[in-house]
Each structure stands twice: as structure tokens, then as C-alpha cells.
Amino acid sequence: MKKRIVLALGGNALLKRGEVLSVENQYKSIHLFAELINDLAKEYSITIVHGNGPQVGLLALQNLAYKEVPAYPLDVLVAESQGMIGYMIAQALEQQAGMSPVTCLMTRVCVDANDSAFEQPSKFIGPVYQVEQMSELKEQYGWNMKVDGDYIRRVVPSPKPQQIVEAKIIDSLLTSDSVVICAGGGGVPVTRKEHGYQGVEAVIDKDSVSALLAEQIEADHLLILTDADAVYIDWGTENQRALRDVTSEELQPFAQPDGAMGPKAEAVINFVERTKNTAYIGALQDVKAILKGEKGTCIRPVETAVPDSKTLKESLVY
């Protein structure tokens, strides 16, 4: 039986920062991803979770542009982005020769209606803007804005995922050797009610959902693919150094609420510590080399460390 791997594909891995959010530009990255997945599917049972930050932000802008109809809530826009991006990935995957059957599944994720994240928006969505536009955007749209690098972006609530509603269906699809695209954009955020589920205004972090899903379907590995080729110490300075092989304990200092590498570090730490399996963080184009330990950052449980294993200092790549 093939080992199971969950691939978390970042929105910025599908679209380079500052690039026009066109279908053509997204397909360029998706077709590259599809070729890599075709090779990987020969060895692994694959689940794909994709981000939607740029896309759901664009849908929100388009949503506001037509004032004859009340604006759609974020949970509906997340569902739209799931269908849009999932469709594009499925189309590209099925064009690969010898590809396993591909299923794109609309996925809901339960959150706590009392999560403090609803009072402290932190999830970046949509395009970047110049810093001097902050007051204008707040006044025009009523958005919460935060600094993102040299720019500013809109932020929305991002509650913690508690349960993936369709987890059993995903497990069944994997058992039938299907490549599954699911929980896109972190899943459609819902809360449990007496007679079903109700959508909420939020966008869940797709890395957190990927870790939870990987745990629920008993995946052997979690691989978070982003536009960074590894986790770095002293990132952005002349002394920056890549980490190649670390324990979840050694990665803990990186798990900060920074909206960048922090959520990814937190997600892989949770997966590794709960399952005692291995996780990886790296660049989309390096996916095969990452799994071989040649690129990216490998995160292992503390319990698997052996006496002659590398220390944190020795795992640095200069």
C-alpha cells in the first residue's frame, strides 16, 4: 500500500507576489505542479490542500464592485475559490499521462464560534497595496489592514480548525487510489448548529487545516510547499542560513504569529508531535528533492532522534 502524503500548496506558490492574478498566470504554476505530482503519485497516495489568499481577496473585490446585490459572505467566497482553484488543479492533473483518478471535493471545516480570532483579524487576503493607501481603504471598504513586508493587505478572522467535516469521505477516496483535492483555502468555515452547520465570516489558515487533515486521515507525511525553499535562521540578513533537518522541538522558536513562516512552523510541529511522523517545508519546484532530504527543511519528532543525529547547528546550510 502506498504511503499517504498531504501536500499543502500555498497561494503564493500558485502566483508570484505582485503578479497579475490572471487565469493564465495561475495555470503556468499549476501545470508545473501537475508534472511534479504525476511523478509523485507513482509512489504516494496524495491529498492536495491549496491556499486561496490572493483569489478570495479578488473575489471579495469583485463582490463589492456590483452594488445591485448584497455582498456575499466570506464562507461563500471561500467555497467559490475552492471550486475555482480545485477545478484548475484537477484539469491540469488529468492532462498528465498515466495520472491516477482525480477528485475535487468541496470541504467544510468546523471552528469555534467563540474563537478569539474573530476579534483579532490576522489572515492576509487579496492583493498588496501601498502603505499610504491604508486610510483610504479603511474608509472606503471598512477593512482591517496590516503591514505585509513593504506593503499592506487586508486581514480577516482566522479561527483554529477543529474538525474536517468530510474527513471520512477523503479517507475513502484515498483508499480507492484517487488523488484528492480538498479543504481548499483552509476549508469553508462553519460552526455546528442543532440542525447542521452554519457558515461564518472567516478564512481558515490552510497550513493548520492541512496538519489536522493529515492527522485525521493518518498520513505518513505532511509537506508544506511555499515560495521559500526552506526555513531560515536570520532570514533577510546577510547571515541567513537554511535549516535542513531539525526536530519539532528545535523548530519551536519559529512558530510565531507572523503571518509568514510562523503558521507553517506551528502546523508541522502539531502534526509531527501528534502523529510522530515526518513533515517538510520547502519550495514547490523542489518537491521530489525535499522528500529525499536534499532540499527544504525536514522536521522529525524528538523521539526519533538518534545519538549521532545532527544538532541544530550542524543542520544549518551556509
- Report yes or no: 181 and 50 within 8 Å, Cβ to Cβ: yes
User: Which strands, in side-by-side order, build the sheet including 179-182?
Assistant: 102-105, 179-182, 44-50, 3-9, 221-226, 278-283, 297-300, 245-247
**How many angstroms separate the Cα of 123 from the Cα of each of 21, 29, 33, 39, 299?**
19, 23, 25, 33, 25
2 is catalytic: no
State the catalytic residue, choosing from 10, 12, 184, 277. 12
168 is catalytic: no
- Report yes or no: 144 and 170 within 8 Å, Cβ to Cβ: no
State the catalytic residue, choosing from 126, 186, 264, 282. 264
206 is catalytic: yes
- Report yes or no: 301 and 273 within 8 Å, Cβ to Cβ: yes
State the catalytic residue, choosing from 10, 11, 184, 185. 11
28 is catalytic: no
Cell digits of residue 93: 492533473
296 is catalytic: no
How far apart (Å, rounded) are the C-alpha atoms in residues 317 and 56? 36
State the catalytic residue, choosing from 10, 38, 53, 123. 123
How far apart (Å, rounded) are the C-alpha atoms in residues 278 and 8? 14
State the catalytic residue, choosing from 63, 186, 206, 295. 206
Would you please indicate which residues are annotated as catalytic (active-site) residues?
A: 11-12, 123, 206, 264
